[in-house]
Amino acid sequence: MVTKPQVKKGVARPRLVILGSGWASHSFAKVVDAVKYDVVIVSPRNYFLFTPMLASTAVGTIEFRSIVEPIRKANEFIDYFEATCLGINAQDQVIKCESVQKLEGESNVFDIPYDYLIVGVGASTNTFGIPGVEENCFFLKEIENARELRKGVITRFERANLPSTPVEEKKRLLSFVVVGGGPTGVEYAAELHDLVTEDMSKKYSKLIEHFTVTLVQRQNTILTQFDGVLQQSAMDNFKQSGINVITGADVVEVTPTAIHLKDGRELPQGMTLWAAGNGTQTLVQDLLNSIPEQAEARGRLIVDDWLRVKGAENVFAFGDCAAMESGALPPTAQVAGQQGAYLGRLFNRDYCLECELPYATAKPNSNVETIGMTSLAKPFQFLSLGIMAYIGEEKSMIQFEAGDNKLKLSGALTYLLWQSVYATKQVSFRSRVLVLFDWFKTKVFGRDLSQF
Among 197, 244, 247, 257, binds a copy of itself (CB under 8 A): 257
20, with CB counted inside 10 A (0-12, 13-18, 19+), is buried
101 binding a copy of itself? (CB under 8 A) = yes
CB-CB contact of 190 with 391 (8 Å): yes
Among 171, 218, 378, 441, binds a copy of itself (CB under 8 A): 441
Among 11, 13, 34, 47, binds a copy of itself (CB under 8 A): 47
Among 6-14, 39-47, 217-225, 317-325, which window interacts with a copy of itself (CB under 8 A)? 39-47
131 binding a copy of itself? (CB under 8 A) = no
CB nearer to a copy of itself: pick between 364 and 452 = 452
164 binding a copy of itself? (CB under 8 A) = yes
For 329-368, give the secondary structure using H, E and C: CCCCHHHHHHHHHHHHHHHHCCCHHHCCCCCCCCCCCCCC
Among 134, 144, 168, 369, binds a copy of itself (CB under 8 A): 144
DSSP E strands in 208-309: the ranges are 212-216, 244-246, 251-254, 258-261, 266-268, 271-274, 278-279, 301-303
256 binding a copy of itself? (CB under 8 A) = yes
273 binding a copy of itself? (CB under 8 A) = no
Phi, psi of 169 (to 5 degrees): -70, -35
Give the count of beta carbons closer than 10 Å to the beta carbon of residue 395.
18
452 binding a copy of itself? (CB under 8 A) = yes
CB of 154 to a copy of itself, least distance (A): 7
432 binding a copy of itself? (CB under 8 A) = no
Q: Which of residues 367-386 bind a copy of itself (CB under 8 A)?
A: none
CB of 99 to a copy of itself, least distance (A): 6
266 binding a copy of itself? (CB under 8 A) = no
CB of 268 to a copy of itself, least distance (A): 12
**CA gap 257, 245 in Å, rounded:** 19
CB of 349 to a copy of itself, least distance (A): 29
Size of the site for a copy of itself (CB under 8 A): 56
User: In degrees to the nearest 10, what's the CA dihedral of 241, 229, 59, 26?
Assistant: 170
The type of residue at 438 is D
12 binding a copy of itself? (CB under 8 A) = no
Nearest to 450 by CA among 202, 172, 174, 158: 158
Element housing 421 (H / E): helix 412-424
CB nearer to a copy of itself: pick between 312 and 427 = 427
CB of 206 to a copy of itself, least distance (A): 10
143 binding a copy of itself? (CB under 8 A) = yes
Q: Which of residues 288-347 bind a copy of itself (CB under 8 A)?
A: none
Going residue by residue from 61 to 100, which x/- string records binding to a copy of itself, judged by CB under 8 A? --xxx--xxx-xx------xxxx---------------xx
Alpha helix stretches (DSSP H) within 174-226: 183-195, 201-203
CA distances from 278 to 176, 191, 192, 294 (A): 22, 22, 22, 19
Q: How many degrees, rounded to 5, is the angle at CA 57 between CA 284 and CA 428?
A: 75
Q: How many degrees, rounded to 5, is the angle at CA 143 between CA 142 and CA 144?
A: 90
Q: How many degrees, rounded to 5, is the angle at CA 404 between CA 403 and CA 407?
A: 85
User: In degrees to the nearest 10, what's the CA dihedral of 222, 227, 228, 233?
Assistant: -70
Among 33, 148, 158, 286, binds a copy of itself (CB under 8 A): 158
Among 6, 46, 197, 278, binds a copy of itself (CB under 8 A): 46
Name the site residues for a copy of itself (rule: CB under 8 A): 45-47, 60, 63-65, 68-70, 72-73, 80-83, 99-101, 103-105, 108-110, 112, 143-144, 147, 154-156, 158-159, 161-165, 173, 203, 256-257, 270, 430, 433-434, 437, 441, 444-445, 448-452
